Amino acid sequence: MKTGKSTAGDTKARILDATEKLFIEVGYEATSLRQVTSRAIVNLAAVNYHFRSKDIMMHAVLSRRLDPLNARRLALLDACEAQWPGNSIRCEHVMGALFVPALQMARDPAIGGPSFLRLLGRVYSDSSPFIQQYLLEHYAPVYDRFFDAFARAMPALPRRELGWRLQFALKALAGVLAAEELENLLPAFTQGKQMSDAHVLAQLTAMVEAAMTVAQPDADQLSALQSVFDLGEQQREQRAAQASKALLQGPQSDLQPEHDAALEATVTQQASDSAAVTAATIGKARMSARTVRNEGTSRAAVTSVAVRAREQTVSFPSNPLDDWMRMRTRT
Specify whether the backbone of 160 is left (phi greater than 0), alpha (psi in -120 to 50) or beta.
alpha
Q: CA 23, CA 29: separation in Å to the nearest integer? A: 9
How buried is residue 261: exposed, middle or buried, by Cβ count under 10 Å (0-12/13-18/19+)?
Answer: exposed
Please report which helix (H) or strand (E) contains residue 203, including its range.
helix 197-213
Give the pLDDT of residue 31.
Answer: 93
Helix or strand (DSSP H, E) at 316: none
Q: How far apart are CA 276 and CA 316, in angstroms?
A: 61
Class of the 62-214 domain? mainly alpha
pLDDT per residue, tens digit, the chain (331 aa), is 444 444 767 899 999 999 999 999 999 999 999 999 999 999 999 999 999 899 999 999 999 999 999 999 999 999 999 999 998 999 889 989 988 998 888 888 888 887 888 888 888 888 899 998 988 888 888 989 999 999 999 888 888 888 888 888 877 776 666 665 555 666 666 666 676 777 777 877 788 778 877 877 888 998 999 999 999 999 999 999 998 888 888 655 454 555 556 555 655 665 566 555 555 555 555 555 555 455 555 554 444 444 444 444 444 444 444 454 455 444 4
The model's pTM is: 0.62
C-beta neighbour count of 94 within 10 angstroms: 26
Assign domain 8-52 one CATH number from 2.40.50.1070, 1.10.10.60, 3.50.50.60, 3.40.47.10.
1.10.10.60
Task: Provide CB contacts within 8 A for 46, sequence distance 6+.
Answer: 11, 15, 37
